[in-house]
Amino acid sequence: MDRWAFAYGKPSVKGELKREPADFKVAEHMPVTPSGDGEHVWILIRKTQLNTEQVAKQIASLSGTSNKSVSYSGRKDFQAITDQWFSVWLPGMPEPDWEQLNGDKLEVLQLARHQRKLRLGTHTSNHFELRIREVQDDRAEIDEKWSQISTQGVPNYFGSQRFGRHGNNLAKVSALFAGQVKVRDRRQRGLLLSSARSFLFNECLSHRVTDHSWLTLAQGEPALLDGSESYFHAEDASENDPELAARLDARDIHPTCPLPGIAKVGSDDSCHSFQAENAVLKDHSDLLGGLVAAKLESARRATRCLPMNASFDCSEGSVHLKFSLQRGQFATSVVRELIRPSL
């Protein structure tokens, strides 16, 4: 993660995150309430040191279905305790004994029937409770950085977990695009494609952090409406536009960087942000070409990530953080601006 620019300078204070699973707790906020009947069983599970695919396979095995019959809204961290929803399609099939899933690393919290399966991106946000241990006693720097983070947010980078252990996903997707390997598993292929897009987004965002434009709108740039995938072109953006400035300050809209693919969002060569993005993407033509060949449509993602309902405590050598983030945002991108990981 040090590859990409820091908004408030690289932290000098060190600390240890994820020494124990309980140091990193995540809970999905699901806006959908299962109806109570239907062919799909929705299961709220608390898992410890298990990844999402491992749990999905356990559900499929117990229910006697294929892995394709199990769905979830989003992937969650391995080294953590996470509350996460899954669904499994059981048309005309007997109800499994779900208690058999319970164990040292897995606990069934809630069960309910529903007419539809759980789809990717159904949850709206995640709530985090983090403990950072062995923090150096430099309260002044930590307080200053947290004040900046809580008021202005942090660059909305994809976290290192998106790129696999030691960044291996990027090497795999480069080999895939070069025709050196084939990936037939649909989910695995999707994960690799997502890694490539995430890397290119981070590259473009890092450029904007470096030139201090990640919190401002360029004229003609697509501005994203908060909490949605809808955007509009800020044709009248300027330092003297009070309406857009007020909407930016109110967090109603956000500047954006690209999730590259086949052109979907119009490009204006006179727009400074598009010019900068194209210059960055030219250095990664292999990844960009692979995404286009895979027929992924381009999209936009907000440049900033804003912790919600946040609380902060620094005492006895530890930092305790509680906050919520919108779906698809990474707690590790918040922490990297505050604390440097201990080696």
Identify whether residues 161 and 294 lie together within a single domain: yes
Does residue 20 register a pLDDT over 70? yes
Same domain for 175 and 298, yes or no, is yes
Most confident option among 68-82, 134-148, 239-253 = 68-82
pLDDT tens for each residue of 58-92: 999 999 999 999 999 998 989 999 999 999 999 98
Between residues 46 and 227, which one has the greater pLDDT? 46
Residues 301, 159: one domain?
yes
Q: Does residue 206 lie in a domain region? A: yes
The per-residue pLDDT for 255 is 93
Strand partners, 48: 81
Distance CA 219, CA 263 (A): 19
Check: CB of residue 82 under 8 Å from CB of residue 46.
yes
Are 286 and 321 part of one and the same domain?
no
pLDDT for res 233:
81
Distances (CA, A) of 41 to 94, 112, 115, 121: 11, 6, 9, 18
* Class of residue 98 by CB neighbours under 10 A (exposed 0-12, middle 13-18, buried 19+): middle
pLDDT at 208: 95
Structure tokens at 36: 């109570």
The whole-angstrom separation of Cα 194 and Cα 210 is 24
Catalytic residue, candidates 37, 77, 83, 313: 77
pLDDT at position 240: 57
| pLDDT (average), residues 261-288 | 78
Structural domain tally of the chain? 3
Q: Which of 58-72, 95-109, 132-146, 323-337 has the lowest mean pLDDT?
A: 132-146
Give the model's pLDDT for residue 137: 66
pLDDT tens figures, 326-338: 999 999 999 999 9
| CA-CA-CA-CA dihedral for 255, 160, 261, 213, to nearest 10 | 20
User: Would you report the helix, strand and coil content of the chain in percent, each value rounded to 5?
Assistant: 30, 25, 40
| pLDDT at residue 161 is higher than 70 | yes
222 versus 155: the higher-pLDDT residue is: 155
Pair (229, 327) in one structural domain: no
Whether residue 271 sits in one domain with residue 172: yes
Element (H, E) at 340: strand 340-341
For residue 270, pLDDT over 60 is answered with no
Domain of residue 273 covers 155-305
- Whether this prediction's pTM lies above 0.85 is answered by yes
In the residue annotation, 77 being an active-site residue is answered as yes
d(CA 274, CA 282): 12
Q: How much is the mean pLDDT over the chain?
A: 91
What's the one-letter identity of residue 38? G
Query: Do you know the residue count of the chain?
Result: 343
- Do 273 and 173 fall into the same domain? yes
Residue 229 lies in a domain: yes
- Final residue in a domain of this structure, among 63, 88, 114: 114
Residue of 154, 126, 160 whose CA lies nearest to 254: 154
Kindly state whether residue 273 falls inside one of the protein's structural domains: yes
Average pLDDT for 293-321: 92
Quick one: average pLDDT of 262-285?
Answer: 76
Q: DSSP H helical segments within the chain, as ranges?
A: 52-63, 139-152, 168-177, 186-210, 242-249, 272-282, 285-293, 331-335
How far apart (Å, rounded) are the C-alpha atoms in residues 5 and 254?
19
Band of pLDDT at residue 275, cut at 50, 70 and 90: confident
Q: 131-169 burial string, b = 16+ CB within 10 Å, else e?
A: bbeebbeeeebbeebbebbbeebbbbbbbbbbbbeeeeb
User: Is 179 part of any domain?
Assistant: yes
Determine what percent of the chain is predicted with pLDDT higher than 70: 94
Closest C-alpha among 107, 209, 193 to residue 156: 209
Q: Looking at the structure, do residues 108 and 204 belong to the same domain, yes or no?
A: no
**Distance (Å, whole) CA 287 – CA 283:** 9
pLDDT on residue 342: 77
Number of Cβ within a 10 Å radius of residue 11: 20
Average pLDDT over residues 218-228: 86
Domain co-membership, 172 together with 301: yes
